[in-house]
Amino acid sequence: MSGEMGRPPLEGADRGELHSRLDELAWAFARRAAGLGPDDVPVTVHDDNLSDDQIKAARLARLAICRHLERLVGSSIRVDVGEALEHGADWEEVAEVLGVSRQAVAKRFGDLRRGERVAVVISRRDRVREYADDPRVRVGEVGGPEQYASDRGIWPIGKTVRAEARYAVVAVDGTVRRLYALDPDGWSEVEPNKWQFSAVGDRELTKHEITAAYQVGELPLQLGDDCPTRAGGAYRPHWF
């Protein structure tokens, strides 16, 4: 957000332009879904150029598209709130931007940040991908000695989490599979704003180590626990 805190990110002409572009985008997809031409815009039911059936089809298509946008915006808001919190924002700042009370924000997004401790969570599907421009080449559930390099990332992890997280949790297809103790001095910025962690001893935690850390409240999850993927990518901070 540009400008000083508390100033709306969009004012006047900018807000009008955003509304206009979203309206045009929704109509473009609605016309396509209803089988209308690019210039057919059923503004009212009295449009003489279109039949009642055409107007009905276009309006129902636009309704479905707007409903999809509503869900997409809701998901995007959660991602942005989580990213803002991870990068140093507090509930008051989020509440001010959304124009609601701190209590309302904490109630709605409390699952994004609970407690004073945080763990790095990577929750991905059980698959392997290859990228020619990635020094690791193969990422995901690659297995063997390459698995540690794949788990280390690169991830868009904010400074608050890098400073405070002591453990990394890796889940696959919704179930915790590996855990690492993090070296607090072992973070490397591989790309702008994307980081790679280092585990203590460059290895996974043993079952005994995991149980001991979990029992004293240092770990929020242990092997076999549910840890589903969420919108916004494989990485997320887990506050507990």
164 in the same domain as 136: yes
Q: Does 8 fall in a domain?
A: no
What is the average per-residue pLDDT within 34-61?
73
Closest CA to 214 of 117, 134, 144: 117
**144 phi-psi bin (left φ>0, alpha ψ -120 to 50, beta other):** left
Share of the chain above pLDDT 70, in %: 90
182 in the same domain as 98: no
| Tokens encoding 238 | 């887990």
Winning range, highest mean pLDDT, from 46-55, 60-69, 200-209: 200-209
Residue 152 has pLDDT above 90, yes or no: yes
124 in the same domain as 76: no
Distance CA(106)–CA(207), nearest Å, equals 35
pLDDT averaged over every residue in the chain: 85
* Boundaries of domain holding 203: 114-239
Distance CA(170)–CA(82), nearest Å, equals 19
Residue 72 has pLDDT above 60, yes or no: yes
What is the average per-residue pLDDT within 50-71?
87
pLDDT for residue 113 = 66
219 in the same domain as 125: yes
Number of domains in the chain: 2
Q: Does 1 fall in a domain?
A: no
0.75 exceeded by the pTM?
Answer: no
Residue ending a domain, among 50, 74, 109, is 109
pLDDT tens digit string along 94-151? 999 999 998 888 788 877 766 789 999 999 999 888 887 777 778 889 899 899 999 9
Q: Residue 142, CB half-sphere, CA atoms under 13 Å: how many?
A: 18
Distance CA(49)–CA(37), nearest Å, equals 11
Residue 80 has pLDDT above 60, yes or no: yes
Distance CA(130)–CA(123), nearest Å, equals 18
Q: How many residues does the chain have?
A: 240
Residue ending a domain, among 68, 90, 109, is 109
Q: Does 4 fall in a domain?
A: no
Q: Does 3 fall in a domain?
A: no
118 in the same domain as 227: yes
Residue 43: pLDDT band with limits 50, 70, 90: low
Q: Does 217 fall in a domain?
A: yes
173 in the same domain as 84: no
Q: Are 119 and 238 in contact (CB under 8 A)?
A: yes
What is the average per-residue pLDDT within 193-210?
96
pLDDT tens digit string along 175-184? 999 999 999 9
pLDDT for residue 114 = 64
pLDDT for residue 233 = 82
Residue ending a domain, among 47, 80, 109, is 109
Angle (deg, nearest 10), helices 52-86 and 91-98: 160
126 in the same domain as 74: no
